[in-house]
Amino acid sequence: HTLQITGATEAEWVVILVLFWGICTVLLLLFVHWSLVVCLRKRILLCDTGRAKRAMFDPAPSTGARADETTPKLELERINTTERTSTMTTSNAKISRTIVIVWISLAFGLLYLVATSIFVTLLYAQIEVACSSILFRHSFILVQRGLQYTYFLARLQNVFDGTMYAFNKIFFKLSYGAILFGVISGGSWYYFVAVGHNCSDRYRFIVAVGIGLIWDVIASITLLALFIRNMSLVFKTTELITVNQSQLGIITALDHDLMQMKRVTVKLTILEIVVVCTSLLCFILYLFISTLASMIEMVVNCICLILSFNAYDHWFVVCCKPCHVMLLRKRNHIPQSPAQNSLP
């Protein structure tokens, strides 16, 4: 079977082509910029680890009568350096895994956008395109979405690892297996139902994407529920510590770690909410604007992946600024009790 679209005017085709290739260009620039920024930060982390390892094997600077006095201090410094190096090495390994996952996910998202734009260009040139060559693009969506959920799940595991909020490791293994099963089953069902049939059969196509869509909705809502659960627990602990600090006036290193955990959890939760809302909205828009809705959803998902990194905190704040302004205005219109006004 072949696909050939007619009926659009020349001006409409120009708008469509500019829009499609413009979306590809924007995501390509973001992909290149993210790769350069992350690689630069990765090199800095590796340099820090290398300096820490070299410090472990530096000879003792002092000898003679004062050597006995400085030996315990030197040994303590070596032990601390060893612990820091071990922690940095483990952290670098986790960062490397998440970077690879995001890099591949962004690459598949870019492949989907480029492939779609190429096929639209061929249709504009009135070239018949085989159905089988178009339908394979759905596999790009499934792989990108599976890697995206794997990344957010890995961040959830890394952020709360070793804390009272951590999940059991078996839970994460089962979750990763469920993501893999969803990608394979969704792709297999799509291939079985859609490939080899008429591209214009919209109902068959809807049935073909059904398994993948159900898996996508379940995975996104489950991840969002996990982030909201841990975010609420972190907020409760933060409130208790804030009350204790106000009474005792004590600030510990645990407070800083907890605030960092709170910041990361809120950020990832907001991004996951954006992903879920975009998926639901674009699924409705697909009935009206077809492939363009899938491209918009892909771009939003990739941008959320990029914004999840610390290097893009500034842009994350810029994107969230309208919401903050709206909430601040709403808060100013709500009368508060004296107890609420005393809170920061």
**From first to last of its 344 residues, what are the pLDDT tens digits of the chain?**
444 454 567 777 788 888 888 989 988 998 898 888 887 765 544 444 444 444 444 444 444 444 444 445 444 444 444 444 444 444 455 557 788 888 899 999 999 999 888 888 887 787 776 666 667 788 888 899 999 999 988 888 888 777 777 778 888 889 899 999 988 888 888 777 766 555 656 666 767 777 777 888 888 888 888 888 888 877 777 666 655 554 444 445 455 666 777 788 888 888 888 888 888 888 788 777 777 888 888 889 899 888 888 888 888 888 877 776 665 565 555 444 444 443 33
End-to-end CA distance of the chain: 65
> Using CA atoms, how far apart are residues 89 and 103, in angstroms rounded to an integer?
21
pLDDT at 172: 87
Type of residue found at 78: R
pLDDT one-digit tens code per residue, 247-258: 444 445 455 666
| 262 in Cβ contact with 238 (< 8 Å) | yes
pLDDT one-digit tens code per residue, 164-182: 777 788 888 898 999 999 8
CA 256 to chain centroid: 24
- Phi, psi of 251, deg, nearest 5: -120, 125
**Burial of 104 per CB tally in 10 Å (0-12, 13-18, 19+):** middle
* Closest of 200, 199, 173, 24 to residue 113, by C-alpha: 24
pTM exceeds 0.85 for this model: no
How far is residue 186 from each of residues 82, 145, 283, 286, 293, measured CA to CA in Å? 47, 11, 16, 19, 20
Q: Where are the domains of the chain?
A: 2-61+70-313
Percent of the chain with pLDDT over 70: 63
